[in-house]
Amino acid sequence: MQGHSQPLQNSTAIVANHTPTQNQLLNALSAEVQQRLFPHLERVEMPLGKVLYESGDVMRYVYFPTDCIVSLLYVMENGSSAEISVVGFDGLIGVALFMGGESTTSRAIVQSAGFAYRLLGQRLKDEFNRHGELLHLMLRYSQALITQMAQTAVCNRHHSIEQQLSRWLLLSLDRLKDNHLVMTQELIANMLGVRREGVTEAAGRLHKQGVIDYSRGHILVTNRAKLEQLSCECYAVVKAETDRLLPIQARS
């Protein structure tokens, strides 16, 4: 992967607000497992639009986001795409590595800029094959991710663009430190697999209802409670299943 990387060993150069334990999976591991894995982590910059891998690429690393969001997209032959899941500090990118596939049919692209820690895939597999706590944690996370993918497919088929947009905003907010997102309507349309005009109309309705403010690619959620009311049940299903499966901090 191109970009700036910094070995974890150079801890004096890492600012206090960027530590591996900002990722909730890494934070959930025991001190013993952390001591085996953390020396091999590298902090990497995740600029907006950075592609971590394309469909069919052989994966070398897994990525543990700390303050960025990565979207997994399915890309059609004609170039159109649709998001199948979002990953932030709640998870990791690269489940195919420990599930035995080594590659995947999706594209991973940075949706919200920030940082992540990457780990050589073989290091993760070595720990996974100890059949200890990492194995159980990764399997529970995979089940939560599958739930998100399945619910996204249902949502995209049966619910309005406004409901889809509300779900997408809530999932993104759960993986950010505040209620502000930087994302153009065109990119949102690509994520949802709908026309840009549809996103414009849905965002306009949310704005009129006092839920969001939107200006030049900046989205500020001003009424989260109302946004949850406007969203379909898909968001609640995904959140409840994730909270049930993963022993992590309560989300906002």
On whether both 151 and 166 belong to a single domain, the answer is no
**What whole-number distance in Å separates Cα of residue 5 and Cα of residue 20?**
14
On whether both 148 and 188 belong to a single domain, the answer is no
**Domain edge (last residue) among 155, 180, 201:** 155
On whether both 32 and 147 belong to a single domain, the answer is yes
**Beta strands of the chain (E only): which ranges?**
5-7, 42-46, 51-53, 61-65, 69-75, 81-87, 107-112, 114-120, 180-182, 212-215, 218-221
Give backbone dihedrals phi and psi of 201, rounded to 5 degrees, phi first.
Answer: -65, -40
Query: CB under 8 Å to 76, separation ≥6 — which residues?
Result: none
pLDDT at 30 exceeding the cut of 90: yes
pLDDT per position as a tens digit, 210-231: 999 988 778 899 999 999 998 9
Query: Is residue 65 one of the residues assigned to a domain?
Result: yes
On whether both 179 and 200 belong to a single domain, the answer is yes
On whether both 141 and 39 belong to a single domain, the answer is yes
pLDDT for 147: 92
pLDDT for 105: 82
**Encoded tokens for 225:** 């409670």
- Residue 167 DSSP SS3: helix
Query: Is residue 113 one of the residues assigned to a domain?
Result: yes
CATH number at residue 203: 1.10.10.10
Query: Is residue 237 one of the residues assigned to a domain?
Result: no
Per the CB < 8 A criterion, the answer to whether 66 and 117 are in contact is yes
On whether both 25 and 85 belong to a single domain, the answer is yes
- Work out the pLDDT band at 197, boundaries 50, 70, 90: confident
Q: How many domains does the chain have?
A: 2
pLDDT at 10 exceeding the cut of 70: no
Residue type present at position 246: L
- Least confident piece of the model among 44-48, 78-82, 106-110: 78-82
Residue type present at position 234: C
Query: CB under 8 Å to 150, separation ≥6 — which residues?
Result: none
Query: Is residue 252 one of the residues assigned to a domain?
Result: no
The Cα-based distances of 117 to 25, 80, 97, 152, 201 in angstroms read: 12, 30, 16, 27, 37
Per the CB < 8 A criterion, the answer to whether 84 and 24 are in contact is no
Measure the N-to-C terminal CA separation of the chain; round to a whole number of Å.
31
Residue type present at position 194: V
Query: Is residue 68 one of the residues assigned to a domain?
Result: yes
- Residue 52 DSSP SS3: strand
pLDDT at 131 exceeding the cut of 50: yes
- Least confident piece of the model among 22-36, 63-77, 160-174, 237-251: 237-251
pLDDT per position as a tens digit, 93-105: 999 888 877 778 8
Mean pLDDT (the chain) is: 85
**What whole-number distance in Å separates Cα of residue 247 and Cα of residue 191?**
29
On whether both 184 and 128 belong to a single domain, the answer is no
On whether both 62 and 102 belong to a single domain, the answer is yes
CATH number at residue 113: 2.60.120.10
Query: Is residue 244 one of the residues assigned to a domain?
Result: no
pLDDT per position as a tens digit, 200-213: 888 889 889 999 99
On whether both 37 and 137 belong to a single domain, the answer is yes
Give backbone dihedrals phi and psi of 248, rounded to 5 degrees, phi first.
Answer: -125, 175
**What whole-number distance in Å separates Cα of residue 218 and Cα of residue 222?**
13
Greater model confidence, 78 or 10:
78
Query: Is residue 248 one of the residues assigned to a domain?
Result: no
- Least confident piece of the model among 51-65, 120-134, 155-169: 155-169
pLDDT per position as a tens digit, 137-195: 999 999 999 999 998 888 878 888 888 889 989 998 888 887 888 777 777 777 777 78
Per the CB < 8 A criterion, the answer to whether 222 and 178 are in contact is no
Residue with tokens 């990953």: 87
Q: What's this model's pTM, rounded to 2 decimal places?
A: 0.84
216 lies in which domain range? 160-231
**Domain edge (last residue) among 137, 155, 173:** 155
Percent of the chain having pLDDT more than 70?
91
- Least confident piece of the model among 41-45, 64-68, 222-226, 242-246: 242-246
Greater model confidence, 78 or 90:
90
- Work out the pLDDT band at 247, boundaries 50, 70, 90: low
On whether both 97 and 29 belong to a single domain, the answer is yes
**Encoded tokens for 214:** 């939107």
Instruction: Please state the rounded mean pLDDT for residues 54-80.
Output: 88
**Domain edge (last residue) among 155, 180, 200:** 155
On whether both 180 and 150 belong to a single domain, the answer is no
pLDDT at 13 exceeding the cut of 60: no
On whether both 165 and 72 belong to a single domain, the answer is no
Instruction: Please state the rounded mean pLDDT for residues 73-91.
Output: 85
Quote the crossing angle between the two packed helices 161-173 and 196-208, to the nearest 10°: 70
**What whole-number distance in Å separates Cα of residue 243 and Cα of residue 240?**
5
Query: Is residue 104 one of the residues assigned to a domain?
Result: yes
Q: Is the dihedral of CA 37, 120, 147, 132 positive or negative?
A: negative
